[in-house]
Amino acid sequence: MNRKFTLWVLLGGGLLACASPEDPDGGLVPTQDSSPADLGPSDRGVDAGLDLGVDAGLDLGVDAGLDLGVDLGTFDAAPVDAEPTDAEPTDAESADAEPADADAEDAELPDVGPPPPGCVPAVAQQLPPQPGLLARADSVVGFSGVQGQCGWHYGFSDATGPAGFQAMTEWQAGPGVWYVDSTRYWTQHQAGLTHPNGVVTIGGRQSRDQGSIRRWQSDTVGLATITGRVRKSSGGLGGNGIDFRIEVDGASRFAQFVAGTDGTGVSFTFTATLAIGTPVDLVLEPHLSDDLVDATEVELRIWQ
């Protein structure tokens, strides 16, 4: 009896040991199917992948990736700035690269030298308007019987003739006077005196407006100071006065009415920029076309 029981137990245990693992009852005994190699991808993704993704990937992404991104980005910026982008200059840079003295050389004033001898007073006799200036022209000292000598030209303007400056042709060396026509008009130039002709006139002269013009034609360049004085002749006070003006290159720079009894007159000083050939004109006209007792003393100097 005991032997049968024992045999049954042995046989039954063998049957239990041979049960299929797919049998729910047989699954109570662990088999090789439970090894880690059979773990599904989802299990590993949650347990391993996510842990690595969060713990390793994100940490590396923030701690390593971002840090490296900032550090490396900053490091990479230096070579970009260091590239020789200006190796080929632009047109503007090429223009700027020209020598700074190029314009200065172009603008350099020519050396015109001193005025011709005898055209201005000796330096010791000059009274410049400010220290450092020397006389370039003098209407009294430079007066002569030669048109253009010392830069001076002697002429007139005729209200009924051609406009502008016309040169006188009559020179009388004895008294030292330039005339338009001494038998017909009063219009004249002397060393320190000038006289116009008017519609109202006497002495057998023709009734005609003529202004006397004494012109200096510049032989220098640059800024110049122009000084002078105009007054009625002390030996010929009277009449209704004269109209006087100075023109530089055709533009009026000083104008003054001088009364017939004004033996004191006015002085003037102004500056003007001159070029070679710039005309400086002293113009005297009869006030209201009346030339009675219009002899007027004028003087002008140009300084540089």
pLDDT digits over 90-135, tens only?
444 444 444 444 444 445 667 788 899 999 999 999 999 999 999 9
Q: Using pLDDT thresholds of 50, 70 and 90, give the confidence band for residue 7.
A: very low
Best-predicted range by mean pLDDT (26-35, 88-97, 215-224, 229-238): 215-224
Looking at this protein, which amino acid is placed at residue 242? I
Contact, 157 vs 167, CB < 8 A? no
To which residue do tokens 């590993």 refer?
44
CATH ID of 133-303, from 1.10.3470, 2.20.200, 1.10.10, 2.60.120: 2.60.120
Closest alpha carbon to 189 in 139, 237, 262:
139
- Dihedral sign computed on CA atoms, order 129, 131, 132, 134: positive
Q: Is the pLDDT assigned to residue 172 strictly greater than 90?
A: yes
Structure tokens at 106: 């172009």
Contact, 247 vs 280, CB < 8 A? yes
pLDDT digits over 264-283, tens only?
999 999 999 999 999 999 99
Between these two residues, 30 and 82, which has the higher pLDDT value? Answer: 82
- Dihedral sign computed on CA atoms, order 215, 217, 222, 224: negative
Domain residue extents for the chain: 133-303
Looking at this protein, which amino acid is placed at residue 250? G
Contact, 260 vs 237, CB < 8 A? yes
Q: Using pLDDT thresholds of 50, 70 and 90, give the confidence band for residue 235.
A: confident
Cα(68)–Cα(227) distance, rounded to whole angstroms?
A: 81
**115-120 contacts: CB < 8 A, separation 24 or more?**
115/150, 115/151, 115/219, 116/150, 118/142, 118/150, 119/149, 119/150, 119/151, 120/301
Structure tokens at 181: 């026509």
166 phi, psi to nearest 5 deg: -125, 130
